[in-house]
Amino acid sequence: MAKLGFIGLGIMGKPMAGHLLAAGHTVHVYDVVPESVKELAAKGAVAGSNSKEVAQKSDIIIIMVPDTPDVEAVLFGKDGVAEGVKRGSIVVDMSSVSPIATKEFAKKLAAMGVKMLDAPVSGGQVGAQNATLSIMVGGEPEVFAQIKPYFELMGKNIVHIGGNGDGQTCKVANQIVVAETIMAISEALLFASKAGADPGKVREALLGGFAQSRILDVHGKRMIERTFAPGFRIRHQQKDLNLALQGARALGMSLPGASIAQELLNAVAAEGDIDLDHSAMVLALEKLANHKVSG
C-alpha cells in the first residue's frame, strides 16, 4: 500500500485527508496551522513538521492549499516538496490555481523524475465531508489510472480531462458557471421578494422546473434563511474568477457575466464580508434594490 502525504488541512483538506485515513492508508500530514495537524494525528495520521518531511516519507503527495503562490511555496519554497521528494513519486495538486502555472510546475517536477496531476475539486465543504466531490483531472492517463482509487475515496464524479493544466482549466470553467448561477438566483429571488411573492415558495416552484439547480437548492435556501457561514468563501470565489478573467484576456475574449459577478463579490468584500459564503453575493444586489430576499 502506498504511503500518502497530504499538505493543506483547511475546511476542504482536513475531511479529504480524513477519508484516506478512514480507508486504512498511512497518511503523512502537514499544515501551517498546527491544530489541524494535531487533530488528524489524533485520528491516526503521521504529523510532519514541513512539506519536505512529508515528501520524504510519501510516495504520493496531495496538496490542497488556497492559491497559486501557496502551491508554488509548498512545491519549491524553503523546506518544500522539491527538497524531499523521491524520483518516481507522484504529486497531486487538488487546489484551484492557475492552469498556466500548473503546466510550469509539472515541467519542473518532470525534470526531477516526478509525475504530477492537477485535480481541482467542486462541491465545497459539504462535498469534502461527504466524499461526494467532483474531481477534474489533468495529467498522463496512466498516472490518473494509478491515482483514481484514492480519488474515489474523496469524490464521486471523477473525470480525466486531458493533459497537465486541463483539470485547472475545467475548474475555472466550473467557477464561471457557479458565480453566474449564484448571480442569477440572487436576482430572481430578490425580484420575486420585492414584487411581493414569497421567495421560499418561488424557490420551491423553480426547483421543479427547468431552472432547477444544485445552487438554487443549496444557496437559494441560504439567501432566504440568511445563513452565510462559509462553505466556500467569497475570497476564494474572487480568486477563481480572477483566473477566469486573466485567462480570458490572454485568449483575447470577453467574459461579461463573470466580470459582473466579480464586481458584486468585490462590493460584498468591501463591506468587510470577504469570508462569508459566496452565496452572500446576494447582499450586494440587495443593497442596490434596498430590499432583502427574506423580505
**pLDDT > 70 in the chain, percent:** 99
pLDDT for 231 equals 85
Q: Which residues are catalytic?
A: 171
| Confidence class for position 233, pLDDT limits 50, 70, 90 | very high
Residue 2 has pLDDT above 90, yes or no: no
- What mean pLDDT is predicted for residues 160-171? 98
Average pLDDT of the chain is 97
SS3 state at 225: helix
pLDDT in tens, 29-42: 999 999 999 999 99
The count of other CB atoms within 10 Å of the CB of residue 87 is: 7
Residue 101 has pLDDT above 70, yes or no: yes
pLDDT in tens, 37-76: 999 999 999 999 999 999 999 999 999 999 999 999 999 9
Which residue intervals of the chain are DSSP H helices?
13-22, 34-41, 51-56, 68-76, 81-84, 99-110, 124-130, 141-151, 166-194, 199-206, 214-225, 234-251, 256-270, 282-289
Residue 266 has pLDDT above 80, yes or no: yes
| Confidence class for position 91, pLDDT limits 50, 70, 90 | very high
**H or E segment at 5?**
strand 4-7
CB of 189 closer than 8 Å to CB of 293: yes
Beta strands 4-7 and 27-30, pairing class: parallel
Give the residue carrying C-alpha cell 443549496. Answer: 218
Residue 122 CA to residue 272 CA, distance in Å, equals 25
Q: What is the pTM of this model?
A: 0.92
pLDDT for 17 equals 98
| Confidence class for position 242, pLDDT limits 50, 70, 90 | very high
DSSP letters for 98-159:
-HHHHHHHHHHHHTTT-EEEE--EESHHHHHHHT-EEEEEES-HHHHHHHHHHHTTTEEEEE
pLDDT for 294 equals 84
| Confidence class for position 124, pLDDT limits 50, 70, 90 | confident
**pLDDT > 90 in the chain, percent:** 96
Residue 295 has pLDDT above 70, yes or no: no
| Apex 227 CA angle, 226 and 228, nearest 5 | 105
Cell of 60: 504520493
